[in-house]
Amino acid sequence: MELTSCLPIWKELTPTQQQRLSAAAVDRHLPKGTTIHRGSLDCTGLLLVQSGQLRAYILSGDGREITIYRLIDGDVCLFSAACVLRDIQFEVSIEAEKDTQVWVIPPEVYRELTEESVIAANYTSELLASRFSEVMWLLEQILWRSFDKRLAEFLLQESALEESPALSITHERIALHLGTAREVVTRMLRYFQSEGLVKLSRGCVELTAPKRLAQLALPD
């Protein structure tokens, strides 16, 4: 995917600004499993996803992970350029869940752009607000929704992403996404299996009753 297609505000930038971004942007391949950004330890730059899938997650003090959002084709990751955002410290890590191709715009280049372009500054604010809304939504789910509903919704989202009812995913990986212990996931999946909602095999969860899972995932 061309850089011009990855950045929504491209056509609203001046020719000089477009040229500067084109010259600075790096076309980078990320093999599955690559961690490209580690919280405040890095300031990677703005990530524009050409193809593939990235996972943004936060890490607790005891090493537990929880996924806050996914990035797929055409998405933009702002938290990987957190050093551009004044007075905002957000410990987000980014990893490639699939082989992924990204454009990386260096943080100093994007900072200059937002300082001179009202369009870029407004776009950054809107993107930041959108991401924080996702984080607040996630917090609400953790605080107020039961785990069976969260797990049902996660499985449905995974099935939609993979375009398949059969998910090649381990219980440990699900636990990382949902910020809980593997044992908790295993117990709930076994319960789902006993109810005929899923079929479990090694490294695989198959959704056998997606409509019933969707009903379970509905708010109370």
Summarised one tens digit per residue, pLDDT across range 129-181 is 898 888 888 888 888 899 999 999 999 999 999 999 999 999 999 999 999 99
Which of 43, 54, 212 is closest to 131 using CA atoms?
54
* 32-50 confidence digits (pLDDT tens): 999 998 876 678 899 999 9
Question: What's residue 90's pLDDT?
Answer: 67
Read off the pTM: 0.81
The boundaries of the domain holding residue 77 are 3-143
**Are 129 and 27 found together in one domain?**
yes
**Are 124 and 39 found together in one domain?**
yes
CB 92 within 8 A of CB 57: yes
What is the phi/psi pair of residue 186, to 5°?
-60, -45
**Are 27 and 105 found together in one domain?**
yes
CATH number of the domain encompassing residue 179: 1.10.10.10
Which of 82, 114, 143 terminates a domain? The answer is: 143
CB 199 within 8 A of CB 206: yes
Which of 203, 193, 199, 206 is closest to 170 using CA atoms?
203
Which DSSP symbol is given to 144?
A: H
**Are 37 and 84 found together in one domain?**
yes
**For residue 17, is pLDDT > 80?**
yes
**Are 139 and 152 found together in one domain?**
no
Which of 200, 213, 205, 214 is closest to 167 using CA atoms?
205
CB 45 within 8 A of CB 83: no
Q: What angle do CA 21, 15, 125 make, to 5 degrees?
A: 55
Question: What's residue 63's pLDDT?
Answer: 76
Which of 89, 124, 143 terminates a domain? The answer is: 143
Question: What's residue 39's pLDDT?
Answer: 73
Q: What is the mean pLDDT of residues 211-215?
A: 96
**Are 138 and 71 found together in one domain?**
yes
**Are 111 and 170 found together in one domain?**
no
CB 119 within 8 A of CB 13: yes
Query: How many Å apart are CA 29 and CA 128, to the nearest integer?
Result: 25
Which of 16-25, 40-49, 124-133 shows the lowest per-residue confidence on average (mean pLDDT)?
40-49
Q: Mean pLDDT of all residues in the chain?
A: 91
**Are 36 and 104 found together in one domain?**
yes
**Are 133 and 163 found together in one domain?**
no
* 85-118 confidence digits (pLDDT tens): 765 666 789 999 999 999 999 999 999 999 999 9
Question: What's residue 81's pLDDT?
Answer: 79
Q: What is the dihedral of CA 164, 166, 171, 176, to 10 degrees?
A: -10
